[in-house]
Structure 1
Amino acid sequence: MNKICIVTDSSAQFLHPEIAERKNIHIVPLKLNSLAGPLDANAFNDLDPIRHHYSVPSTAPKAEAPGTDLFSETYQKLQSTSGTILSIHASGNACSVVANALEASEQFLGRMNIQVIDSQMISIGLGLIVEAAATRATRGENIDSLVRLVRGMIPRMYMVIFLEDLMYLERHALINRSQAILGNMLGIIPFLTVEDGRIIPMEKVRSRSRALEKIIEFVTEFSEVEQLVLLYEGEEAFAQANILSDRLKALYPTAPITILGYNPYLATFVGLGGLGVVVLEPEQEAL
């Protein structure tokens, strides 16, 4: 019963697909609903097979957080192997996952120690935090140490991403419809960032080449980088991600840099053709 179980949700993305299984991370699935009905539960693992669902923003899939009952079921199953759970989830400002996990955890008060943490991040940002916690858990660190680790990583994680279709911003009430239509007509490329768990518009540029420069400018605000992940969707964005990777490797030769196609959950916010970066700042630099 001394074992600590790590739980997250399927909005999390990992550097390698096998990480969750290898590190014994328990994943509570979100639902991905399209006009044709719910998509397969495995849809969260890979955007390519379902990318056609995202071609029209107004009818693109929507993510639905797992209900309290599903969290309760997960925690109940883990009770036989562990009395302690660290449940780390996507930003509570982006979806209701955290609220549902907290509500479910209250059913186990006095029976289990369940710590629910809002990562204030999505996609690979969440995945990096979860992986770090799982790695430490396998080393036998206690729950207080893991909570400190996670809470220490949250303010060191940064993300920006640009998207091609402003209708995705309108879909999430970040701009109005007339602004989205006009912006698309003018070829505006907006950036989104995650700030205190909120997905917000950052700034706009008029070309993808300028957008690439903005990503470089964003990253070079950090004197050191612990981990850097370039997120992309589509052939053009993949080619541009490789260009960015080469430039950033010259600037940060010791930092791990990964190029990763983003997952269907992030695509519900940015659609197709996006390109962005997640930066984990070193602990000493954040002090």
Structure 2
Amino acid sequence: MSKIAVITDSTAQFPNPSFQGKDLVRIIPLDIVINDSIIKEGTGVKTADLPLSPSNERKTKLLVPSPAEIAEQFVVLLKKFNELLVITNSANLSAFYQNSIEAVKLIQGETTIQVVNSQTIATGLGMIVQAATEIISTGASLTEADRHVRQLIPHIYTLFCTPCMKYLYNIDILEYSQAVIGEMLNLHPIFTLEEGYPQAICKVRNFRHAQDYFQEFIEEYDDLIHISLLKGINTQGIDNRILKLFVQENFPDTPFSEHRINPFLGAIFGPKTLGLIIFERPYSLSG
């Protein structure tokens, strides 16, 4: 049986820290640029180290390895594993997906490496990675695992609320002038990821109102596999108990997890971010 590794990136967060096939997961590290200094993963950078509002244009951002650097890591991994399933954060949030595609071409690894754009991030990405390792652990081939995760992707729903709008300029979601004015007015826009691209769906006055919107959003679904709440720094007004009680009453069989956003997610949306990611049960998995 072919030995398959599941590769992802530092933005992934796992709702279940111990899951079937965890030993198959390898994470390609990402770095963060703060005030023109490159902070390497593993050097102790925290979400709180990120500025709430970068002082100048494009000062704080995620730094993705080049195609050549990723290719080098693929070559090393292929000495231990026969095949690689690479699952990246949304291609609209960082260059990791595109750089991984280019890396595969550099080493002519099209027959042994599959690259999947998860169209999500954080716990959404983590849940897809977990699903991949679980099916691989049961004996699925690379093609079968690739097909399985692609079928799950449309059932991951992602919301983010952030007043840190200069970060959204860094990923080409807003013009710089829009970001500056939005921060001056202390706007709290809520974005959903539509096929991985951030789309603004509404504005709220504060994080408490964002949590109310999150609850209304959850109410639209009937059968959920997992619900996760992500909190950044200084998210005042959030009482996790209210949302957790709502989930317990309306989705008693659905796990609910709470997470602090990691600095890599913070470098994309800003450290003062509130997020909701839900995983709907696909029809093929029902019953």
Which TM-score tier does this pair reach, normalised by the shorter chain? 0.7 to 0.9
Change over 3 Å in CA distance of 1:5–1:169 after alignment to 2: closer
Q: What is the CA–CA distance in structure 2 between the aligned matches of 1:110 and 1:273, rounded to whole Å? A: 39
1:53 aligns to 2:50 (yes or no): yes
Change over 3 Å in CA distance of 1:238–1:12 after alignment to 2: farther
Deviation at 1:70, TM superposition (A): 2.0
Deviation at 1:86, TM superposition (A): 0.7
Q: Which moved more, 1:177-186 or 1:82-91?
A: 177-186
Q: What is the CA–CA distance in structure 2 between the aligned matches of 1:124 and 1:260, rounded to whole Å? A: 9
Equivalence map 1:19-34=2 (5 Å): 22-34=22-34
Change over 3 Å in CA distance of 1:20–1:261 after alignment to 2: farther
Change over 3 Å in CA distance of 1:109–1:187 after alignment to 2: closer
Deviation at 1:178, TM superposition (A): 4.5
Q: What is the CA–CA distance in structure 2 between the aligned matches of 1:72 and 1:170, rounded to whole Å? A: 29
1:77 corresponds to which residue? 76
Deviations 1:37-66 (A, max 9, x none): 1113126xx87x351332333456311211
Indicate conservation of the 8 Å contact 1:174/1:201, yes or no. Answer: no
1:38 corresponds to which residue? 38
Deviation at 1:223, TM superposition (A): 1.4
Equivalence map 1:93-242=2 (5 Å): 93-109=92-108, 112-234=111-233, 236=235, 239-242=238-241
Change over 3 Å in CA distance of 1:211–1:176 after alignment to 2: same
SS of 2:243 mapped into structure 1: helix
Change over 3 Å in CA distance of 1:286–1:273 after alignment to 2: farther
Indicate conservation of the 8 Å contact 2:189/2:202, yes or no. Answer: yes
SS of 2:115 mapped into structure 1: strand
How many positions carry a matched residue from both structures? 284
2:243 corresponds to which residue? 244
Q: What is the CA–CA distance in structure 2 between the aligned matches of 1:92 and 1:42, rounded to whole Å? A: 24
Where does the alignment leave 5 or more consecutive residues of structure 1 unmatched? none
2:3 corresponds to which residue? 3
Deviation at 1:225, TM superposition (A): 0.9
Deviation at 1:239, TM superposition (A): 4.6
Q: Which moved more, 1:264-273 or 1:62-71?
A: 264-273
Indicate conservation of the 8 Å contact 2:159/2:193, yes or no. Answer: yes
Percent of matched pairs sharing the same residue: 28
Residue type matched to 2:41 in 1? Answer: A
Deviations 1:152-192 (A, max 9, x none): 11100001121133343344443344444444444431101
Deviation at 1:114, TM superposition (A): 0.9
Q: What is the CA–CA distance in structure 2 between the aligned matches of 1:40 and 1:21, rounded to whole Å? A: 27
Report the TM-score, using the length of structure 1 for normalisation. 0.87
Residue type matched to 1:117 in 2? Answer: V
RMSD: 2.8
Q: What is the CA–CA distance in structure 2 between the aligned matches of 1:162 and 1:212, rounded to whole Å? A: 9
